Every structure is written in structure tokens, then in C-alpha cells.
Structure 1
Amino acid sequence: MMDHVILTVSNLERSVAYYEKALAALGATECIDYPGSHDHPHLIGFSRKNGNHFFWLKEGRPDPEAIHIGIAAESQKAVDAFYHAAIAAGGREKVAPSAQLQYGEDYYATWVLDPDGHDIEVVNKTGRVG
């Protein structure tokens, strides 16, 4: 089971602004600034109200081809909300929210490319789609 992800981004300030808007649609409204130290990078973490900072950003040289992230949404409506928030915040559409029956009868997802081109999937698997 995954606990957290650290994503390397080219411009920390720009990516924090983007993810604050996009992840808020999924209820991830808490943000923490971890200043780091000589042996640990500066990180910005996002969490839902449970305090588990599951999504972290650090500045560096991103490699969008090397990673795919899938984030669970509580509903199909939340998938749609993330998509609209991400696009409004400057993301680019890869796949609009829709049923992805090739993955299962309950699979409803969207894929959006963030400002660095990272492929971010948001998926809901709790209700039959068709």
C-alpha cells in the first residue's frame, strides 16, 4: 500500500499553486512546508483533513516520462471536479473524465498533465459505470 509520493518539479512555487487548486477538488486542502536540511530537500506536502501528507513536491529536474501517479477519488463527481480544477489551474488534458471499462466495470478516471508534463491520473472505482 502506498503512503506517499514525492514528485520532482522544475518550479516549486508554480507547482504548489497548481496542486493547491487541483488537489483541493479531492479534499486535499492542507499543505505543509518542510524546510529540509543539508541532507534532505525542501518539500511541500499535501493532505486531506486526516493529516496524512500523501503528495509531496520538491524542486529539481523533473522526468515526467519516468513516473505515473494515480490518486483515488471518493466519487465520479470528485474525478470530474479534479479535472476541471486542474485544467483551470493550467494543466493539460490527456484523457477527459470517462468510464475506462478496459480496466474494470467500476473504473472511472481522468488523466491530466501538470505544468511539467507529469501524468496524473485520478480514479474512482466505487460505482458501476457504463
Structure 2
Amino acid sequence: MFDHVKFGVSDFAASKAFFLKALEPIGITIVGEGVPSYGVELAAGGETSLCLHQTNEKPAHLHLAFVAENRQQVDAFYRAALEAGGKDNGAPGVRPNYNATYYAAFVIGPDGHNIEMVCHKPEA
């Protein structure tokens, strides 16, 4: 559905480091970068990317959900995101209120955004 999603962050260096570390389990790397006001483009080799840029504006909090290929990636994301300074907002686990195979973890990132990693596949 999306080509890219771009949003402003209050501390470009901290947010860039957080997202690179937290999303490393799904292969996210830098695919393009300019000055902080232009930002950085992060992707996993596909056509969809996440772009961050420095701003002084106070953006509204976002909920970003990333797709994991398996539950181990969800677990790895959660550990990496906490190591990168994220705050727990829901440890890895099945969320039966969404559906029987919705396995997800949630963390709050540097700007208060709710960052989720989700696997829709049943346990292998």
C-alpha cells in the first residue's frame, strides 16, 4: 500500500540509532541519507521504506507496525528495541483479542511513538 512513510523526530541521531537497532532483526538498513532536516531512508531491500527527519515541530504520536516473518523476529525486535532505549509497551506474545495467531511486541520509541512488530503466522 505505501511507497514510504516519513515523519519528523525531535532527536534525529537518537531516533536513527533506535530504529536501526530495533528493526535490525527484519533486515532494515540505511538505503539513503541526507542532512538531518532531509532525513534518512530505511528499508529491507523492498519497495517500501521508512523515512525519518529532524524537526522542531511536535508531531502527534504514531503507531507503526512492522511485519515479521516469524515469531523469533518479534522476540529479537523486542530485545533490540529495549537495548536501544525503547520502553516496554507489551512483551512478545499472542494477542487473541486481535486473532488466534497475532503474535506481537510493542515498545515506545524516543518520541513516544508506539512501535510494534507482528507475525500473523501460527507458531512453527
Q: When the two structures are superposed, what TM-score results if normalisation uses the length of structure 1?
A: 0.84
Q: Residue deviations 1:55-84, cap 9 Å, x none?
A: 11011124343x211111111100110010
For residues 72 and 62 of structure 1, what CA distance do their matches in structure 2 show? 27
For residues 86 and 58 of structure 2, what CA distance do their matches in structure 1 show? 16
Matching residue of 1:43: 39
Q: Is the contact between residue 64 and residue 119 of structure 1 (CA under 8 Å) also seen in structure 2? A: no
1:85 positional shift = 0.4
1:58 partner amino acid: H
Matching residue of 2:88: 93
Q: Is the contact between residue 71 and residue 123 of structure 2 (CA under 8 Å) also seen in structure 1? A: no
For residues 99 and 123 of structure 2, what CA distance do their matches in structure 1 show? 9
For residues 2 and 105 of structure 1, what CA distance do their matches in structure 2 show? 26
For residues 7 and 25 of structure 1, what CA distance do their matches in structure 2 show? 22
1:44 partner amino acid: V
1:128 positional shift = 4.9
1:110 positional shift = 0.8
1:126 positional shift = 1.4
Change (3 A) 1:4 1:11: same
Q: Is the contact between residue 33 and residue 44 of structure 1 (CA under 8 Å) also seen in structure 2? A: yes
Establish whether residue 63 from structure 1 lines up as the match of residue 64 from structure 2.
no
Q: Is the contact between residue 105 and residue 128 of structure 1 (CA under 8 Å) also seen in structure 2? A: no
1:120 positional shift = 0.8
Residues 1-130 of structure 1: pairs in structure 2 closer than 5 A: 1-35=1-35, 42-50=38-46, 52-60=47-55, 61-65=57-61, 67-128=62-123
Q: What's the C-alpha RMSD, in Å, of the aligned pairs?
A: 2.0
Structure 1 residue ranges (4+ consecutive) displaced by more than 6 angstroms after TM superposition: none
For residues 64 and 95 of structure 1, what CA distance do their matches in structure 2 show? 21
For residues 21 and 98 of structure 2, what CA distance do their matches in structure 1 show? 28
Q: When the two structures are superposed, what TM-score results if normalisation uses the length of structure 2?
A: 0.88
Q: Which runs of 5+ in 1 are unaligned?
A: none
Q: Is the contact between residue 64 and residue 117 of structure 1 (CA under 8 Å) also seen in structure 2? A: no
Q: Which runs of 5+ in 2 are unaligned?
A: none
Helix, strand or coil at the partner of 2:26? coil
How many residue pairs match? The answer is 123
